[in-house]
Structure 1
C-alpha cells in the first residue's frame, strides 16, 4: 500500500491563509460571512477554498478546532506545572483567565462555536483539555483548595457564560467574583 504524500507547501500555505481569513471575516461579519468574501480575504480562488473546506460548516469547524488546540495546550501546560509543584488552584485560576482573554479577543471562535452548537468533548483537543482540567480539579480538591462538588462542567459553564464582550477590567472583576464560589478559601484566594 502506497503512503499518502504530504501536502504541497503551497497547499499548506493556502489552508493557513484561508483559516486566518475565516477568523477575520467571522469576527467582522459574524458566522454569516460569505465563502466568497473569505476566499477574497485569503487571496485564493473560491475553488481553492472549497478544495480545503467543502462546506462552511467544515471551515467553521476548523476554526473552532484550531482554537480548542490552543486551549488544550494551555490546559496541559497548567497541569504539567501543577504536577511539578505549582499550586493546582493557582494554575486553574490562571488557565481560566487565559481562556477568558482568548475568547474575548477571538470573536470568530465564539461566533463559530455558537453557529455549530459546539459542546465540550466533541473533538480530540476538547478531550485533551477536559482531561487536563479534570486532573487540575482533582489536585486542587486534594489540596483542600476547591470544593469537592466542582466539576469540569462547572468550568465550561463559567467559560461559556463569561462576559467576553466587556472590557478587560470588567472581565478581571468577573473572575475575581466568580472563582471564590468554587474555592474553599473565599475571595481572598482568587482575588
Structure 2
C-alpha cells in the first residue's frame, strides 16, 4: 500500500480560496453563478478549480460541509466553556445567535445545494454539532433553566424558522421571542 501524501501547501490555500469565493459568489449571485466566475473571484485558474471540484455540485457540497463543520466547532467550543463553568443557557443562546448570523450569508449556498440536489455525504460534523448541543441542553436542564422537554430537534426547528432574510434587528428580536419557549421560566411544565 502506498502511503498517502499530504496535500501541498499551495493546493490547500487554493482550496480554501475556492471555497470562500464560491460561498461569496453563490450568496451574491445565486446557484446559477458560473464556475469561471468563482475561479476568477478566488484568483485561480478555472483548471485549478476543476482539479479540486470536478463539477458545481461537488463544490457546493464542499461549501455546505465547511459551514456545517464551523457550526460543529462552535457548538463544541460552547460545550467546552460550559464544562469549564459557563452558564449553559447563556452559551446556548449565544450559539443560536451566532448560527443565525452565519446563516444569513450561507442561506444562499444552502438554497443552491437544494437546487442542485447536492447532499453532503459525510454527516460527522452534523453529529458533532448535535452531540454538543445535546450536552448544552442537558446541562441547562440540570441547572433548571432549560425546559425538560427541549431536544436537539427543537433547536434545529428553531434554526429552520430563523428570519435570515431580515435585517439584524429582526433577527435579534426573533431570538428574544423564541428563547423563552426553551426555558422553564418562559412556559409552564405542561406547555
Task: Tell me if both proteins adopt one fold, taking TM over 0.5 as the criterion.
Answer: yes
CA RMSD of aligned residues (A): 2.2
Contact 2:22 2:63 in 1 (8 A): yes
TM-score scaled by length of structure 2: 0.88
What residue is the counterpart of 1:67 in the other structure?
67
Q: Does 1:14 align with 2:14?
A: yes
What residue is the counterpart of 1:129 in the other structure?
129
Alpha-carbon distance, 1:120 to partner? 10
Count residues in correspondence. Answer: 187
Q: Does 1:23 align with 2:23?
A: yes
Alpha-carbon distance, 1:2 to partner? 2.6
What residue is the counterpart of 2:39 in the other structure?
39
CA separation of 1:139 and 1:168: change in aligned 2, threshold 3 A: same
What secondary structure sits across from 1:132 in the alignment? helix
What residue is the counterpart of 1:98 in the other structure?
98
Contact 1:19 1:62 in 2 (8 A): yes
What secondary structure sits across from 1:31 in the alignment? coil
Aligned counterparts of 2:109 and 2:133: Cα–Cα separation in 1: 20
Aligned counterparts of 2:120 and 2:80: Cα–Cα separation in 1: 22
CA separation of 1:97 and 1:145: change in aligned 2, threshold 3 A: same
Aligned counterparts of 1:83 and 1:9: Cα–Cα separation in 2: 35
Structure 2 gaps of 5+ residues are none
Q: Which runs of 4+ in 1 moved over 4 A?
A: 116-122
Q: Does 1:178 align with 2:178?
A: yes
Aligned counterparts of 1:106 and 1:162: Cα–Cα separation in 2: 13
- Which stretch of the first structure deviates more once superposed, 11-20 or 119-128? 119-128
Aligned counterparts of 2:169 and 2:121: Cα–Cα separation in 1: 30
